[in-house]
Amino acid sequence: MATPRYTALRGTRDLLPEEASRWRFVESTAHELFARFGFEEIRTPVLESLELFTRSVGAASDIVAKQMYTFQAGDEAVCLRPENTAPVVRAFVEHALYRRVAAGFPERLYYIGPMFRHERPQKGRYRQFHQIGVEVLGAEEPLADAETLHLLDQLLRHLGIPDGVLVVNSVGDANCRPAYRDALLRWLEPRTAQLCEDCQRRHRDNPLRVLDCKVEADRALLAEAPRLDEYLCTPCRDHFSAVCRALDDYGVAHRIDARLVRGLDYYERTVFELSHADLGAQSALLGGGRYDGLVQALGGPAVPGFGFAVGLERLMLLLPPDLGQAHRTDAAIIPLGAEALHGAHRLADHLRREGLSVLVPLTPRPLGAQLRRADRSRARFAVFVGGAEQATGKFGVKDLDSGEQQTLDEPALLAQIKGDPRR
């Protein structure tokens, strides 16, 4: 019987070393930048209870209604997390992190990790994908929204992705949104037959979500629908204009779109998305907003929240090709003959202890094969170890870019490689 051929599941991907190196670059840029803004990392489990998401993201949302990986484990209904705001808020409540919040000093958390949604895979859309996200818990001030969006803007700039369009809107709150919802429902009622199949279902559960429809005909029809901004109460209106003013102060370019809503139930007031033309059909690079009722809905005190999540796969599609390349190997040690293998490994050990990256074979190989392998590792130097080198303690050292060759003892060799300006 033929051995079956195993492949990664549809909608999941392997990151081979070259790509993993670019991911690590993005992740370390995020770690470093978030720390500058006082954010601390939180890592929560990939497995959560299903109820956490029906309660927060909403049972009628596309994510919960259609895209969850759920299963029964013993007597628990569990799922793979489809997003990470609800898990972070769960942890915030569970560990009483709200005790650390003081006026003006919210809890600032961030995460990087995999999420799971059973969607139809295509370019930029996977079933296991990754997000970098931040959550600010305990600040209702518009400045919290603006500063966090400034952080986001900085992240994209550091990654060489400066030309996305940040679109912002306010979706109101529990005070003013019901009136808009009613008005929209009244407007939709005589027109439902003209909507796409999804919207015919959506509009009954949550009419606002119809505004989020990507179907062209629906979008054209909805251009005439009542506008959210005309229904905002004064506190929501004031909050939103203060956010936009603070964004201007921070120099964060943005555009207001009164039709922008988000597909998750927990958002209130500020919502935003950033899309990028180069991403094609899956153009949304990131999204987020304010969720002032979520902590309470998940059993905590009345603590407001604000956050964003960036899709890492989509970010990687936009990352300039020269960023995040794997580091070059410092030295390829080249034993000349079987007797030199031991000495080559002793030298490799010394150099590695000094913090250098070193390539050395495990078995004697022809010189040509060793030089080709050194080239693939983009080694800067080749260090030859033969009988003479072992006797004199001096090695032939070749700069693999310039071809220049020297004979150096070990301290001089170390100084040469460590002082190399290409490191």
Residues that bind ligand AMP (CB under 6 A): 83, 117, 119, 124-126, 129, 131, 284-287, 309, 311, 313-314
Q: Are 423 and 415 in contact (CB under 8 A)?
A: no
Strand positions, DSSP E, 120-245: 128-137, 165-170
Shorter beta-carbon distance to ligand AMP: residue 240 or 291:
291
Cα–Cα distance, 50 to 68 (Å, whole number): 9
Q: Shortest distance, CB of residue 162 to ligand AMP, whole angstroms? A: 17
Q: Shortest distance, CB of residue 410 to ligand AMP, whole angstroms? A: 50
Strand positions, DSSP E, 322-378: 331-335, 358-359
Shorter beta-carbon distance to ligand AMP: residue 57 or 184:
57
* Helix intervals (H) in 209-277: 216-222, 234-250
Closest CA relative to residue 333, chosen from 321, 346, 324, 323: 346
Specify the DSSP element, H or E, that contains 310.
Answer: strand 305-311
Shorter beta-carbon distance to ligand AMP: residue 125 or 328:
125
Of the chain, the end-to-end C-alpha distance in Å amounts to 52
On the 0-12 / 13-18 / 19+ scale of CB atoms within 10 A, 52 is middle
Q: Shortest distance, CB of residue 286 to ligand AMP, whole angstroms? A: 5
Q: Shortest distance, CB of residue 273 to ligand AMP, whole angstroms? A: 7
Q: Shortest distance, CB of residue 320 to ligand AMP, whole angstroms? A: 18
Q: Shortest distance, CB of residue 236 to ligand AMP, whole angstroms? A: 21
Residue whose CB is nearest to ligand AMP in the complex, by number: 311
Q: Shortest distance, CB of residue 284 to ligand AMP, whole angstroms? A: 4
Could you tell me whether strands 40-41 and 331-335 are parallel, antiparallel, or unpaired per DSSP bridges?
A: unpaired
Q: Are 177 and 171 in contact (CB under 8 A)?
A: yes
Shorter beta-carbon distance to ligand AMP: residue 92 or 129:
129
Strand positions, DSSP E, 1-118: 40-41, 47-49, 70-73, 76-80, 107-116
Shorter beta-carbon distance to ligand AMP: residue 61 or 370:
61
Q: Shortest distance, CB of residue 83 to ligand AMP, whole angstroms? A: 5
Coil, strand, or helix at residue 155? Answer: helix
Cα–Cα distance, 300 to 52 (Å, whole number): 13
Shorter beta-carbon distance to ligand AMP: residue 313 or 330:
313
Residues 6+ apart with CB under 8 A from 257: 167, 168, 169
Shorter beta-carbon distance to ligand AMP: residue 80 or 340:
80
DSSP 366: -
Shorter beta-carbon distance to ligand AMP: residue 129 or 231:
129
